[in-house]
Structures are given as structure tokens and as C-alpha cells.
Amino acid sequence: MTTMPLPWMSRADRRRWKSARTVLDLGELMARWLEGEIASRPGYQPRFGPDEETAHLVPTLAALCRAGYVTTCSQPGFAGTGVDGLWWEQRAAVELAVTDADLFHRLVEAAHAAGMVVRINDHRRDGGAQEQPVVVTTCDGEPVTAFGGRISRADMAIQWPGLDRGLYDQVAHGTYVSIVAPEYGPAAAGERLWGVLDFLTGLRREDPANPWTTTA
């Protein structure tokens, strides 16, 4: 008999997320969720881990979370026939919450230097940047999903329920950066996105002979 996951977060997991006080605390918990050590995370279906398609991205995403960024959404590049028999295409893409100005500038500069598409959005009390979304997934040539776009107060409440109030204010009023490969599919720029992020966190080291290097 198959046991279905319960439709709510466990008390232990609720306590973990509620106990986080800093963005680094939050990033560590997110990394542990990505790695399967924590069953649930805020704003995501309880007792479910990352989608199977992103399994090979976990080291990259966890390293980002431990470096001071908090990843909120990601997908690999893909081009092929889906289980529905339709033709699907995805651009490799990731969205991150950033609260540190230096980390923000390093991320955006590295992404631009590598030729990635960047969208910057935030929700602030006094209004913030709200750039247009970019389509990241199509089905038979029709847009299906997009990254980036306007962030509202309601969006933040849905994405970060159960956090300490002070930490919630930091993250909700931080900057959300969407980085998207310029091409659809897993090859070329699609996979280069993850190399760029690995160099940013130190997961990979700069090497002139390395095809992922961002050094000219």
C-alpha cells in the first residue's frame, strides 16, 4: 500500500523555519530542504522535495543558498516531447531573493557578462523595480510560464508563510533576481547558466581551459 504524504508541514519543520533569524539561516534551511534533509519548505507543497527534473541542479542551488542567496524557483533547459505528446521547450532559469547589495551586484554583473537574460523585481514599502517577465517555457510554441514580473504583498505572504516577522520583512522587501538562459534547451547557454552560478559561489574554480569560464 502506498502512503500519501500528509497535506501539512510537520511541527518540527514549522519550528525550524520559524526559528530562522537571518537570511543565512534561511539559506541553510533551504539548502537542507533541497538536499532532502528537511521534508517541507514555506510556500511549497508540504512534504514534497524539489521536482525530479531539478535533481542535478541541487548542488548549484544549495551552494547559492549557503552563499547568501535564497533560491525560490528554478528549472533546467529542455526541448522534447512531453508525456502529453506535445513539444515542450524550456530555458534554464533560476529566481533568487537577495538582501545584500554586494551579493546583488556580483550576481547581476556575472549574469550580464555571461550573456544571460536578467529581470529584477522587488516589493518594497516605497515601491521598487518591477521589470517585465520573460517567457521560460513553451508548449507547441505557445507561452506557458514566465520568470520575473510584478511582485505584490500577497505574493510575499504566500511565498514566505511561517517565518519570524523580522526575517520575513528582510526577505519580502529584498530584491528578486530572475536569471534566464537566452536559448531554449539543455545545450550551450542553457547549461552555461549553472556554471556561471557555480563560479559565483566557488563551487567551481576559474580555469582558462574550462568551457564554463566567464573570464574573457
Would you state the pLDDT for residue 187?
72
Does some domain include residue 211?
Answer: no
Does some domain include residue 208?
Answer: no
Does some domain include residue 76?
Answer: yes
Does some domain include residue 145?
Answer: yes
CA neighbor of 9 nearest in space, from 190, 163, 179: 163
Q: Which domain holds residue 114?
A: 11-201
Number of domains in the chain: 1
Would you state the pLDDT for residue 211?
46
**How far from 138 is each of 60, 80, 88, 106, 133, CA to CA, in Å?**
25, 11, 6, 30, 14
Does some domain include residue 207?
Answer: no
The span from the CA of 150 to the CA of 152, in Å, is 7
Q: Answer whether 133's CB lies under 8 Å from 148's CB.
A: yes
pTM, two decimal places: 0.89
Would you state the pLDDT for residue 6?
66
Q: What are 46's three cell numbers? A: 508540504
Burial (CB < 10 A; 0-12, 13-18, 19+), residue 170, is middle
Average pLDDT along the chain, 216 residues, taken 10 residues at a time: 70 96 98 96 91 93 98 94 94 96 97 95 76 96 94 91 96 95 80 92 70 44
Does some domain include residue 206?
Answer: no
Per DSSP, the three-state class of 205 is coil
Would you state the pLDDT for residue 150?
87
